[in-house]
Structure 1
Amino acid sequence: MLAILKNHKLVSVKEAAASVSFKMKALDLCDEHQRSFEFFCEDEKKLCCSSCAIVNHRKCHSVVEIKKIAGKVTSPSSTLGEKLKEAKEAAEGVARHIRSSKDQLAEDVKEIHVKIRQMRDEIMRMFDDLEDSVNKRAETLQRETLENLTKKQAQNEKHLADVTSCLETIESIFKNGSPVQKYIAEHKMERKVNVLCRNIKEECQNLENVNISFHFDETLKLPPLPNSEYVPGQLLLKSNRREDVNSVNMTMKLTPVSAIDYKETEDDIDEPFYTGIDFLPGGRLVAVDIKNSKCLVYNEKLEKVGSYQLSYAPFSVVVVSEEEVAITSGPGYNIEFLHVSKCNEISSSRTCEVKTTYDSICLKDDRQFVVGTYDDPRPVRIVSLTGEEYDFSVNFSNKTYPIDTSDCIYIKNCDKIVITDRNEHTVYIYDIKTDTRVVVKNDQIQEPRGAAVGPSDTILVCCLTTNTIVQISQTGQILSSYKLDMTHPFRVCVSRDKSFLVVANDSPGNSKMQKFKISC
């Protein structure tokens, strides 16, 4: 044996492996008694020290020694390992997201600088063009004005010379001439002097101060920035919960259920045009026909089961309660309430006079409506069930919508207003709480008209040009687009439980209404 191994004990590899111990770092000690775990209670699935086994588990039926079962039962280490691996991957994903967010924030700040510089350059180019255009026009005005002044100056100089000449002649005659000569000269020159005096008087009366100046419109008169809090823009910090890009919970799918083609009947004066539809309790549908001034009720199969003749042209309808609906009319300044019984009998309940012309209408709560206006600078207003009118504390775009160019809906759960702009091919989403808005423009949104609140409070919009129903998230993301078997979809409504959708169109000669089952 080598001297270096004199004091070493040699063992087999197998024995050495068996004798290796792992530092448990107190994992093998009971928290209560600080003793090593020796037992496992199979009844309560708990590790026990000797004290736990005697004190806490003496009534249990199966308390076994750990060393007897440790090598026999299936180890949970693989399952725990998988869970920890998943947790680690998730944590690493969070770390990546945070790093990405930091990078994105840096890029966003850079983008702000770039955007402001671009706006500054665009404004400078605009003012360069403005300066060039105004200078050219000012020079033209100056040239034309100078020509007129030069003509007047020449004319005045001629008059001045004539007056001087006449004055010299008269003074000479009256100084040196005979009485006969004076008499002849006075009568001879009287007319010429009168004409000269009249012309010079007219010139004096027509004298003008000529100035050229330039004034900016009120919209371009900025206050002095160093002395004001005014900033021509908004710096926004938005924090939204990240949506899983693989999630399809919000994406809507439509399955056709039934459809009808509505034609002119004997008591109609024109082909029906449904400008308002909404779901009644139990799956029935209420609709208003602007062409024939009617309110109608349809059952779940879209079979007409009730009709009521109105004295005005109805615009829109909303279900207020189980047996009451409210109708806007034009150009009348009122909102009429109708009673619709469970037997589909319709009768007038009451009428509220208002001071604004309203088109679309929807419920805000059990006491108020949200109404869309037309031909009014306030695009959306609040009307109580008793007729009082109020304005939102929201900075809406200063635009007046003609009739049939816009629709508005209210999303109760998040206190948001949606306005469609048919002519601008745009959908606006206003947040009432923060007084901010999201502007949605997309190739899929063409002539947006009627709108409704869909599943998960998404926004459903009828697009007349593309003949589609487009689904939009509250952040302005296009979630889905459904091609309809009809032309020019005009109005859309969704049942209270978000399980059915009905859409009506604006297509003379091909009027149609379709019902769909909603699934996500």
Structure 2
Amino acid sequence: MAEGFQTTVHDQVGGRSPDAYQTCADDNVPGRKGKRCDPCRTNGRWNYAVVLCKTCQQHQCEECSMNHSLNDIMVGHDLQGLEEDDQRKICTKHKQDLNIYCVDHDEMCCGLCGVMYHKQCTKVTDIKSGMKISLANLHGRCEYIDKGDEKRIQAYRSQVKVISEQIDIMKNEIDKLFDDFKCNVVHSTRDAVKTESKKIDEEKIVRTAITKDTDTTLATNIDDFNRIRLFTKKIRQHKNAISKQESDKHVLDFIFEFNKTLLSFIQSGDDIGSLHIEKTFTKATSGSFVRPFMLRLLASRNFLKQGEDGDREPLISGLDFLPDGRIVAVDNWNHRLIVTDQQLNNLATHLLASTPQDIVTTSDQKVAITTCSDGKILNFNINADNTIIELPSFHCNRDYENISTMPGDWFCATTFRHKYPVSKVSGTLGEKEFEPNLPMKQLKYNEAVTTYIQNRQIVVLIDFSDNSINFHDVSGNTVITIVRRHASIQIPRGVCVGPGDCVFVCSQNTNSIVQLSPTGRLIGSCKVEMSMPRCVAVSKDGTKLVVSNKVKGNTKLQIYELQ
């Protein structure tokens, strides 16, 4: 009898002896274990049983067990799934025993699968050891999430404190405005009253002097005609002075009113501010648990030696995806902006006035393009109908090559002929260094590329000159730098951020796309069907990867599915 088969009561009820099972040569195939389908065995076929029909007293495969739902006579039979120990543990692809475990993909596989699909995986071992490692990783992941949750709660409390402080600051500023305003108003009114009082007192002194003068003159000189005539003249003069005072009499009206904008705001009943609590879902940020990706080629485009528009053979120096899945690229040699679909069919082309270096998507339909030695960054809107509209560009004091987006209005960009290799640049906020400052190193033209991991505030700098990949963590008060070099990465070129904050790097001399964790741990490497890959980008949904190369006479653009 073949190894692994045992005679059961059900075998003998049908009138067959245990020796009858040896008549099939397939029984003697080494390594096969588990129950055979009894109806298939009778017909000389080999299929593995998945259920036991207690009514029929037979082990049956999936196909034979379907008769229980198709045949009215067999409806209601007692079907029981085989215990795990009775089921086959073989690879469905290669029909070999599942005897190894890939921790990176959390799956059992046969030896052939290990060679074909898991050669680049970091942890491939026996099943028992693999399960222990996987379980330990799972526990570690739970601990990592717990610590992350604690940090988030602390961050929330800090934000609440900051908001309260900001409200107090605003309240104090408003109180100061009102206090200053009140002080100015009171001071102005008091000055007006003081001036008016002084004028009234001066006029009263004049009137008092007039009255005293006339009374004295009348009492002492009433019998002298000449003096009476002089007195009469003086009376007329005094009357004129009094009349002038009477005509100059006025009333001060203190007319006070608040700023109309302030009044309308108060009368509207609107809140003096607003609070919005936004929930942002981020992809996994623990590099330790990012699984290796495999690539499946979806489409490939070969450029002619003489460009399709009669130009030079193109050099794709920058790639990115629009949110709707369209691909944008810049042709450095022919000064073109190119838009394609996911089958790499050309949708639109625009001739640029400057030499493009790199391209990045900034919003749903907008892109920014760095230019070579031109001191400006171009901006375009690519409509849904593939119409390309040029927007105002902005000038820079430095020359930028590779570019990626940052929060707000900032870009992270490599620069050359400057003491820092990477800078922050904005069309509205200008240019500035990272704070804290990155390590100083002046680069030459076409000597480095960069990308920015937004969830972690990490600047990734690929330095061609020393074959290094530098991870600069700028989230704290000091820069934490990790430098990585891997034997599987030979002349790194293009770089981009993928799912789980992992980093994809073009390894030019190995014709591969290498996947790294955010801390530089090697996760996996996949060959691409082109020589010397140069630029790479991942779609916004993390399902596609596009890559280009630089090989004279064999320039390609390819799109892959990330599996």
TM-score, length of structure 1 as denominator length: 0.52
- Aligned-pair distance for 1:266? 5.5
**Counterpart residue number, 1:261:** 302
Specify the code of the residue in structure 1 equivalent to 2:355: A
**Counterpart residue number, 1:471:** 515
The whole-number CA distance in structure 2 between the counterparts of 1:328 and 1:256 is 29
Kindly tell me: are residues 268 and 294 of structure 1, through their superposed partners in 2, closer, same or farther at Cα, counting changes over 3 Å?
farther
- Aligned-pair distance for 1:254? 1.2
The whole-number CA distance in structure 2 between the counterparts of 1:251 and 1:335 is 35
Specify the code of the residue in structure 2 equivalent to 1:257: L
**Counterpart residue number, 1:86:** none
Aligned to 1:465, what secondary structure does the other structure show?
Answer: helix
**Counterpart residue number, 2:434:** 392
- Aligned-pair distance for 1:284? 0.4
**Counterpart residue number, 2:322:** 280
The whole-number CA distance in structure 1 between the counterparts of 2:425 and 2:286 is 36
- Aligned-pair distance for 1:485? 1.2
2:529 to 447, 463, 485: 485
Instruction: Map 1:136-175; keep pairs closer than 5 Å.
Output: none
Q: Is the 8 A contact 1:352 1:387 kept in 2?
A: no
1:298 to 319, 335, 340: 340
2:501 to 457, 460, 477: 457
The whole-number CA distance in structure 2 between the counterparts of 1:320 and 1:395 is 25
The whole-number CA distance in structure 2 between the counterparts of 1:426 and 1:468 is 16
**Is 1:360 equivalent to 2:402 in the alignment?**
yes
Specify the code of the residue in structure 2 equivalent to 1:432: V
Instruction: Map 1:379-418; keep pairs closer than 5 Å.
Output: 379-386=421-428, 388-418=430-460
**Counterpart residue number, 1:429:** 471
- Aligned-pair distance for 1:445? 1.6
Kindly tell me: are residues 93 and 309 of structure 1, through their superposed partners in 2, closer, same or farther at Cα, counting changes over 3 Å?
closer
TM-score, length of structure 2 as denominator length: 0.48
The whole-number CA distance in structure 2 between the counterparts of 1:335 and 1:390 is 16
Q: Is the 8 A contact 1:358 1:373 kept in 2?
A: yes
- Aligned-pair distance for 1:93? 7.8
Spell out, residue by residue over 1:3-27, the C-alpha distance to the aligned partner (whole angstroms, 9 max, x if none). Answer: xxxxxxxxxxxxxxxxxxxxxxxxx
Instruction: Map 1:109-120; keep pairs closer than 5 Å.
Output: none
The whole-number CA distance in structure 1 between the counterparts of 2:295 and 2:358 is 24
Spell out, residue by residue over 1:94-131, the C-alpha distance to the aligned partner (whole angstroms, 9 max, x if none). Answer: 9x99xxxxxxxxxxxxxxxxxxxxxxxxxxxxxxxxxx
Kindly tell me: are residues 342 and 396 of structure 1, through their superposed partners in 2, closer, same or farther at Cα, counting changes over 3 Å?
same
**Counterpart residue number, 1:376:** 418
**Counterpart residue number, 2:562:** 518
Spell out, residue by residue over 1:299-322, the C-alpha distance to the aligned partner (whole angstroms, 9 max, x if none). Answer: 121100100001111000011111
Specify the code of the residue in structure 2 equivalent to 1:320: T
Q: Is the 8 A contact 2:287 2:517 kept in 1?
A: no
The whole-number CA distance in structure 1 between the counterparts of 2:287 and 2:522 is 14
The whole-number CA distance in structure 2 between the counterparts of 1:338 and 1:93 is 49
Aligned to 1:281, what secondary structure does the other structure show?
Answer: coil
**Is 1:438 equivalent to 2:491 in the alignment?**
no
Q: Is the 8 A contact 2:381 2:390 kept in 1?
A: yes
Specify the code of the residue in structure 1 equivalent to 2:291: M
**Is 1:496 equivalent to 2:540 in the alignment?**
yes
Kindly tell me: are residues 411 and 242 of structure 1, through their superposed partners in 2, closer, same or farther at Cα, counting changes over 3 Å?
closer
- Aligned-pair distance for 1:357? 0.4
Kindly tell me: are residues 402 and 436 of structure 1, through their superposed partners in 2, closer, same or farther at Cα, counting changes over 3 Å?
same
The whole-number CA distance in structure 2 between the counterparts of 1:374 and 1:352 is 19
Spell out, residue by residue over 1:44-88, the C-alpha distance to the aligned partner (whole angstroms, 9 max, x if none). Answer: xxxxxxxxxxxxxxxxxxxxxxxxxxxxxxxxxxxxxxxxxxxxx
**Counterpart residue number, 1:341:** 383
1:350 to 392, 395, 402: 392
The whole-number CA distance in structure 1 between the counterparts of 2:136 and 2:301 is 51
Instruction: Map 1:89-108; keep pairs closer than 5 Å.
Output: none
Percent of aligned pairs sharing the same letter = 30
**Is 1:318 equivalent to 2:360 in the alignment?**
yes
Specify the code of the residue in structure 2 equivalent to 1:339: N
Aligned to 1:461, what secondary structure does the other structure show?
Answer: strand
The whole-number CA distance in structure 2 between the counterparts of 1:507 and 1:268 is 18
Q: Is the 8 A contact 1:382 1:391 kept in 2?
A: yes
- Aligned-pair distance for 1:395? 4.1
Spell out, residue by residue over 1:391-438, the C-alpha distance to the aligned partner (whole angstroms, 9 max, x if none). Answer: 102443322222222100000001101000112111000100241011
Q: Is the 8 A contact 2:536 2:547 kept in 1?
A: yes
The whole-number CA distance in structure 2 between the counterparts of 1:429 and 1:458 is 12
Aligned to 2:450, what secondary structure does the other structure show?
Answer: strand
Q: Is the 8 A contact 1:319 1:325 kept in 2?
A: yes
In the alignment of these two chains, the number of paired residues is 283
Spell out, residue by residue over 1:362-418, the C-alpha distance to the aligned partner (whole angstroms, 9 max, x if none). Answer: 110241111111222211111123361111024433222222221000000011010
Q: Is the 8 A contact 2:332 2:356 kept in 1?
A: yes
Q: Is the 8 A contact 1:408 1:451 kept in 2?
A: yes
The whole-number CA distance in structure 1 between the counterparts of 2:300 and 2:323 is 20
The whole-number CA distance in structure 2 between the counterparts of 1:254 and 1:397 is 35
The whole-number CA distance in structure 1 between the counterparts of 2:391 and 2:519 is 40
Spell out, residue by residue over 1:457-506, the C-alpha distance to the aligned partner (whole angstroms, 9 max, x if none). Answer: 01110111111111111222110011111111111000111111000111
Specify the code of the residue in structure 1 equivalent to 2:489: I
The whole-number CA distance in structure 2 between the counterparts of 1:476 and 1:243 is 9
- Aligned-pair distance for 1:243? 8.1
1:309 to 342, 351, 373: 351
Q: Is the 8 A contact 1:464 1:488 kept in 2?
A: yes
The whole-number CA distance in structure 1 between the counterparts of 2:341 and 2:519 is 35
The whole-number CA distance in structure 2 between the counterparts of 1:281 and 1:378 is 32
Specify the code of the residue in structure 2 equivalent to 1:458: C
Aligned to 1:423, what secondary structure does the other structure show?
Answer: helix
Spell out, residue by residue over 1:112-158, the C-alpha distance to the aligned partner (whole angstroms, 9 max, x if none). Answer: xxxxxxxxxxxxxxxxxxxxxxxxxxxxxxxxxxxxxxxxxxxxxxx
The whole-number CA distance in structure 1 between the counterparts of 2:322 and 2:355 is 21
**Counterpart residue number, 1:21:** none
Specify the code of the residue in structure 1 equivalent to 2:294: K
Kindly tell me: are residues 243 and 475 of structure 1, through their superposed partners in 2, closer, same or farther at Cα, counting changes over 3 Å?
closer
- Aligned-pair distance for 1:345? 1.2
The whole-number CA distance in structure 2 between the counterparts of 1:242 and 1:374 is 33
> Mean Cα displacement is larger for which, 282-291 or 364-373?
364-373
The whole-number CA distance in structure 1 between the counterparts of 2:523 and 2:530 is 21
Specify the code of the residue in structure 2 equivalent to 1:302: L
The whole-number CA distance in structure 2 between the counterparts of 1:382 and 1:426 is 22
Aligned to 2:520, what secondary structure does the other structure show?
Answer: coil
Aligned to 2:441, what secondary structure does the other structure show?
Answer: coil
Specify the code of the residue in structure 2 equivalent to 1:440: R
Q: Is the 8 A contact 2:342 2:559 kept in 1?
A: no
Kindly tell me: are residues 312 and 243 of structure 1, through their superposed partners in 2, closer, same or farther at Cα, counting changes over 3 Å?
closer
Specify the code of the residue in structure 2 equivalent to 1:420: I
Q: Is the 8 A contact 2:511 2:533 kept in 1?
A: yes
Aligned to 2:299, what secondary structure does the other structure show?
Answer: strand
The whole-number CA distance in structure 1 between the counterparts of 2:313 and 2:465 is 26
Q: Is the 8 A contact 1:495 1:501 kept in 2?
A: yes
Kindly tell me: are residues 271 and 414 of structure 1, through their superposed partners in 2, closer, same or farther at Cα, counting changes over 3 Å?
same
